[in-house]
Amino acid sequence: MMKTRITELLGIEYPIIQGGMAWVAEYNLAAAVSEAGGLGLIGAANAPAEVIREEIRKTKELTKKPFGVNIMLMSPYADEIAKVVVEEHIKVVTTGAGNPGKYMKMWKDAGIKVIPVVASVALAKMMEKAGADAVVAEGTEAGGHIGEATTMTLVPQVADAVSIPVIAAGGIADGRGIAAAFMLGAEAVQMGTKFVVAKESIVHDNYKQRVIKAKDIDSAVTGRSHGHPVRSLRNQMTREYTRLEAEGKSFEELEYLTLGALRNAVMEGDVTNGTVMAGQIAGMITKEQTCKEMIEEMMEQATKLLGR
């Protein structure tokens, strides 16, 4: 148990939120994190709205504790999913890869707690003005689609700029990271890469082993030249992408190369030509554990460090 404005807002025991990772954040993982006292999230990513409705219903069968849905705003189904979360009485929505302003009124009217993921102070302030209940300040250490600022620089600047509570993300996977985030002004953390290797995570074992064996400098960022930077573990796919990017290939051509590549890595275990999205902290993640073991171990370490 650790009380912050975030644990109070969301009705959770520990200030730990699971990232809404594409393909990874499905109902088994979301329910396991929520059951362990954190906030589990279903990652809607690019999935059709009816698939997400099913995921929500399956999560409800596994846990009575609070959980949320992350909506990836570049998804062609974002508008539909924005309505599904209202229809299914979801209590918490986080958003990524865009500005959720146009959905804010509908969600607030439905009593949903809205927590946009931001990568800049400007968007954090805009979101507070639009009625957000909190923001996730995600640093460039994170996996997947990222911004430019580091967690160390972004979190205190966002905390100074807004009055709503701030959740830190990017580069956190143990109690030291949680304690450090609190020192920077955060009142909770969001973790993705750590939960990829959870026992309850359905991710293919090849993918989990790549994360577990990764070293500090094993990730690479592709897509910067097109304004869609994505961090993943270096492999044949990132090398090929980087080569074609340097040749000046268009965003569409590169997207074709990676079409389905994340699914192939997560579901089929193709860690050679697939996209193995992971954050820089992968180098510190060395074993598979249950979500409960992860959360309890990290919270024990964090509370000691924070002297609580």
d(Cα 281, Cα 288) in Å, to the nearest integer? 15
Which of 97, 166, 181, 295 lies at the binding interface for ligand TUI (CB under 6 A)? 97
Q: Which residue is nearest to ligand TUI (CB)?
A: 144
Question: With binding defined as CB under 6 A, does residue 104 bind ligand TUI?
Answer: no
CA-CA distance, 271 to 49, in Å (whole number)?
28
Of 99 and 150, the one with the shorter C-beta distance to ligand TUI is 99
Cα of 110 vs its chain's centroid, Å: 23
Whether 28 contacts 200, CB under 8 Å: yes
Question: Would you count residue 52 as binding ligand TUI (CB under 6 A)?
Answer: no
Q: Judged by CB, which is closer to ligand TUI: 16, or 266?
A: 266
Task: Please state, in angstroms and rounded to a whole number, the distance separating the CA atoms of residues 8 and 134.
Answer: 12
Q: Which amino acid is at 30?
A: A
37 binds ligand TUI (CB under 6 A): no
Strand partners, 189: 16, 168
CB 272 within 8 A of CB 203: no
Phi, psi for 86 (deg, rounded to 5) = -70, -50
Q: How far is the CB of 70 from ligand TUI (least distance, A)?
A: 8
CB of 122 to ligand TUI, least distance (A): 8
Q: Is 203 in the site for ligand TUI (CB under 6 A)?
A: no
Q: Report how far residue 179's alpha carbon sits from residue 10's, in angstroms, rounded to the nearest whole number.
A: 20
> Pick from 230, 278, 285, 298: which binds ligand TUI (CB under 6 A)?
230
Q: What angle do CA 300, 278, 137 make, to 5 degrees?
A: 65
Smallest distance from the beta carbon of 155 to ligand TUI, in angstroms?
14
User: Which residue in the set 82, 85, 117, 198 belongs to the binding site for ligand TUI (CB under 6 A)?
Assistant: 117
Least distance from C-beta 242 to ligand TUI, angstroms? 15
Compose the 138-167 pattern: x for residues touching ligand TUI by CB under 6 A, - for all others: x-----xxxx--------------------
Beta strands in 22-91 (DSSP E): 40-43, 67-72
Q: For binding to ligand TUI (CB under 6 A), which residues are involved?
A: 22, 45, 72, 74, 96-99, 117-119, 123, 138, 144-147, 228, 230
